[in-house]
């Protein structure tokens, strides 16, 4: 069934999250005189620490990023940060994936309404949106709902925005942990942009479909009639 609105996770799906994280920590490593930054080790540390930090009591994402600077530094054996805030300062410059805007423009041209459901603060998302060339009809942030995915509150807010019609929502995301597992478990149609070629966890709910990037996502959606 043609969805009333298509929502997206932003970072990792539309925006190159890993490149942004790596670039910010690389600059900090240079400032500290640390050489030989291992990208895989850094990203593993970041993605292990972030859910732990977000699972605590709600705090703005700027504060989450500051805590992550400290936690990741500890995991990598770096000295504690002398100054904080470099992750939040860099975030609005994190680039979109090469195919993102073309794919979004195709969906708008096909008549779809679009939205973003993101674990972010409003002002940080506003900075990111300068990299995106389409208008979004719905924006749901962690700041607005005082909650972080994989909690279901973002999705509940999106369903509420379209009059409670759960079947009218299609959610597209890269993170199985943060998005696909929760949305699919709620009976929402989901498209997993599995950029990293990950295996679905055993027993986890299956997405409606799986693609490799946003171009394939737009191709899939265009087949809905």
Q: Residue 225: pLDDT above 70? A: no
pLDDT, average across residues 143-151: 97
Task: Give the DSSP letter string of 29-85.
Answer: HHHHT-----HHHHHHHHHHHHHHHHTSS---HHHHHHHHHHHHHHHHTPPPPSS--
Asked if the model's pLDDT at residue 25 lies above 90, the reply is: yes
Q: What is the pLDDT of residues 35-94, one digit of tens each?
A: 888 999 999 999 999 999 999 899 999 999 999 999 999 999 998 777 789 999 999 999
* pLDDT for res 75: 92
65, 99 in Cβ contact below 8 A?
no
CA distances from 196 to 47, 110, 154, 188, 200 (A): 14, 28, 24, 23, 11
**Percent of the chain beyond pLDDT 90?**
92
Question: In the chain, what percentage of residues exceed pLDDT 70?
Answer: 100
Q: What is the overall mean pLDDT for the chain?
A: 95
Task: For the chain, report the end-to-end CA distance as a whole number of angstroms.
Answer: 7
The CA-based dihedral angle spanning residues 47, 53, 56, 58, taken in that order and rounded to the nearest 10 degrees = -100
**pLDDT for residue 82:** 74
Residues 159 and 165: beta-carbon distance below 8 Å: yes
**Active-site residue set:** 9
Domains of the chain: 5-16+95-222 (3.40.50.1000), 17-93 (1.10.150)
CA distance linking residue 216 with residue 99, whole number of Å: 10
Lowest-confidence range among 30-34, 146-150, 190-194, 198-202?
A: 30-34
């Amino acid at each position: 069934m043609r969805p009333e609105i298509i929502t997206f996770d932003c970072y990792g799906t539309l925006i190159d999250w890993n490149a942004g994280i790596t670039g910010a920590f690389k600059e900090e490593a240079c400032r500290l005189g640390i050489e030989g930054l291992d990208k895989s080790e850094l990203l593993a540390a970041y993605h292990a620490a972030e859910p732990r930090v977000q699972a605590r009591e709600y705090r703005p994402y700027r504060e989450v990023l500051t805590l992550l600077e400290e936690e990741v530094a500890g995991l990598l054996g770096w000295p504690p940060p002398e100054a904080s805030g470099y992750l939040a300062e860099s975030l609005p410059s994190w680039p979109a994936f090469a195919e993102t805007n073309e794919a979004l423009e195709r969906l708008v041209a096909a008549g779809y309404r679009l939205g973003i459901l993101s674990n972010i603060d409003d002002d940080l998302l506003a900075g990111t949106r300068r990299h995106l060339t389409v208008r979004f009809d719905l924006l749901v942030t962690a700041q607005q709902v005082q909650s972080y995915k994989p909690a279901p509150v973002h999705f509940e807010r999106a369903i509420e925005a379209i009059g409670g019609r759960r079947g009218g929502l299609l959610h597209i995301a890269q993170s199985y942990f943060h998005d696909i597992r929760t949305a699919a478990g709620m009976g929402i149609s989901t498209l997993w942009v599995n950029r990293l070629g990950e295996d679905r966890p055993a027993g986890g709910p299956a997405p409606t479909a799986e693609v490799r990037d946003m171009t394939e996502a737009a191709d899939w959606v265009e087949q809905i009639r």
